[in-house]
Amino acid sequence: MSSGVAGTWHLRMRTPIGTIAAEYRFTETDGGLTGTAVGAGETTTLDDVARTPTPEGERLTWRQRVTRPMRLNLEYDVVVSGDTLVGHSRAGRLPRTAVSGERTCD
């Protein structure tokens, strides 16, 4: 059964240093959902990908470590509804960053 999340997504994060765009790929596996992200010249693996059904859509959370534009440990919390997602990410004690995205292919 498809999670409703599997596929390639174009995400935008509105940060204090400007909007950062990245491509995210979620894959359905026997063990659940896995993912990778490509942006700022690096590819990272998504950790602890979890999904929960909600009345608004499917809630998706994950953790990610990046080194560009700076070294950060990020936590994402978004809701997927059809081919769009909205939510936020957070890097430690920094304020939340708005996240939005669209599915680019399945």
Q: What is the pLDDT of residues 75-96, one digit of tens each?
A: 999 999 999 999 999 998 888 9
Q: Kindly report the pTM of this predicted structure.
A: 0.90
| Residue 52: strand pairing partners | 59
Cα separation of 99 and 43, whole Å?
Answer: 19
**In a 10 Å sphere around its CB, with 0-12 CB exposed, 13-18 middle and 19+ buried, how is residue 57 labelled?**
middle
CATH superfamily of 7-105: Quinohemoprotein amine dehydrogenase alpha subunit, domain 2 (2.40.128.120)
pLDDT band at 2 (very low <50, low <70, confident <90, very high): very low
Distance of CA 58 to the CA centre of its chain: 13
The upper half-sphere exposure of residue 69, i.e. CA atoms within 13 Å in the direction of its Cβ, equals 9
- What are the pLDDT digits (tens) for 51-77? 999 999 999 999 999 988 788 999 999
- The answer to whether residue 6 scores a pLDDT higher than 90 is yes
How is the chain split into domains, by residue range?
Answer: 7-105
Amino acid, res. 31: G
